[in-house]
């Protein structure tokens, strides 16, 4: 079954992490997926990491879809405009837009007040997290709304409920992630007359390439990291949030989520999908009830 056969998706920011996991799962559901980012096999972004958009496109195709890699800096309106013109020329439509551009893991200074945080790094973080999404939506949505049931997914960190009650580690990071949630709410209002939908989606504690590297493990032995950080037991693979997005994209009643802020764990319970290990990690409930409550790490009943 390929519920997204004939559908065209753009995953903006698909070089690694959530974007790569989402692109793969959209491909597995049969979609043609344009994957964008700044790092290619011949040129690296400021991240200076090895993952490339070409690798992501190949993974999409290997999963059963069609992956198309396009190098794009989503802060450059001209590059984004050219990208959308290419999609329209090659496909004649856009059904799914995933705004996943982030690129600021190395810019945040955790638990540092605004007057001590690097202003340059903080403002760069906001540009990467917010401006990129707005620029991409500005150019992509006119193509998306040409057909009913178009879907815009805003990828963030934390649900609205959690972020409203918790300080997210720095003013800049907090503002970046809550702004994306509000962006989805605004887009939901603007898309409604066109029978299209916008949803903010957050993964849980995601085992991205950077996170695995930080703990010195690979996906195959990720549980070894719980020796260093016991609460890592609630973590999830990037494919889990990918399956969340694919489930939304394949839902004919997806408009019921319009303007909502939802987690991969919540969507797993609604749609019945699982992570690669066959579990359904419910990270945000775990954070509130176990980790933030100061209880010993124990994922029983949470995955």
- Look up the CATH number of the domain holding residue 22: 3.40.50.720
Please list, in sequence order, all residues whose beta carbon lies within 8 angstroms of the beta carbon of residue 130, skipping any fewer than 6 positions away.
Answer: 176, 179, 180, 183
Domain contains 249: yes
Domain contains 296: no
Give tens-digit pLDDT for 182-234.
999 999 999 999 999 999 999 999 999 999 999 999 999 999 999 999 999 99
Domain contains 293: no
Quick one: average pLDDT of 243-252? 98
Number of domains observed in the structure of the chain: 1
Domain contains 286: no
Confidence (pTM): 0.97
Give tens-digit pLDDT for 8-38.
999 999 999 999 999 999 999 999 999 999 9
Q: Is the pLDDT of residue 48 over 90?
A: no
Percent of the chain scored above 90 by pLDDT?
97
Asked if residues 65 and 120 have their Cβ atoms less than 8 Å apart, the reply is no
Determine the Cα angle at 38 with ends 32 and 44, to 5°. Answer: 130
Domain contains 231: no
Domain contains 51: yes
Give tens-digit pLDDT for 110-137.
999 999 999 999 999 999 999 999 999 9
Domain contains 218: no
User: Exposed e or buried b for every residue in 209-241, given b needs 16+ CB within 10 A?
Assistant: bebbeebebeeeebeebbeeeebbbbbbbbbbb
Domain contains 228: no
Cβ–Cβ contacts within 10 Å for residue 120, how many? 9
Q: What is the DSSP string of 267-284?
A: HHHHH----TTS----HH
Going by pLDDT thresholds of 50, 70 and 90, the confidence category of residue 151 is very high
For the record, the structure tokens of 110 come out as: 């955790």
Asked if residues 277 and 297 have their Cβ atoms less than 8 Å apart, the reply is no
Give the domain extent around 32.
Answer: 8-206+238-278
Quick one: average pLDDT of 232-254? 98
Distance CA 260, CA 243 (A): 18
């Amino acid at each position: 079954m390929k519920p997204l056969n004939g559908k065209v998706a753009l995953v903006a920011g698909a070089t690694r992490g959530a974007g790569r996991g989402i692109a793969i799962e959209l491909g597995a559901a049969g979609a043609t997926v344009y994957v964008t980012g700044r790092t290619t096999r011949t040129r690296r972004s400021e991240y200076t990491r090895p993952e490339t958009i070409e690798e992501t496109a190949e993974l999409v195709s290997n999963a059963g879809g069609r992956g198309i890699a396009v190098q794009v800096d989503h802060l450059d309106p001209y590059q984004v405009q050219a990208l959308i013109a290419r999609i329209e020329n090659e496909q004649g439509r856009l059904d799914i837009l995933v705004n996943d551009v982030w690129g600021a893991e190395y810019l945040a200074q955790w638990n540092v007040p605004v007057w001590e945080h690097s202003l340059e790094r903080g403002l760069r973080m906001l540009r990467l997290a917010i401006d990129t999404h707005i620029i991409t939506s500005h150019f992509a949505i006119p193509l998306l709304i040409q057909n009913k049931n178009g879907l815009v997914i805003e990828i963030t960190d934390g649900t609205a409920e959690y972020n409203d009650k918790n300080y997210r580690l720095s003013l800049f990071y907090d503002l970046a992630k809550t702004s994306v949630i509000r962006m989805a709410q605004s887009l939901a209002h603007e898309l409604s007359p066109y029978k299209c939908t916008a949803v903010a989606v957050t993964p849980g504690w995601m085992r991205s390439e950077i996170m695995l590297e930080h703990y010195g493990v690979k996906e195959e032995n990720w549980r070894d990291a719980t020796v260093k950080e016991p609460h890592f037991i609630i973590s999830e693979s990037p494919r889990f949030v990918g399956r969340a997005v694919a489930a939304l994209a394949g839902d004919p009643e997806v408009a019921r989520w319009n303007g909502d802020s939802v987690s991969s764990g919540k969507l797993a319970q609604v749609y019945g999908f699982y992570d690669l290990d066959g579990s359904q990690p419910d990270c945000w409930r775990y954070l509130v009830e176990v980790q933030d409550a100061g209880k010993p790490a124990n994922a029983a009943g949470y995955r």
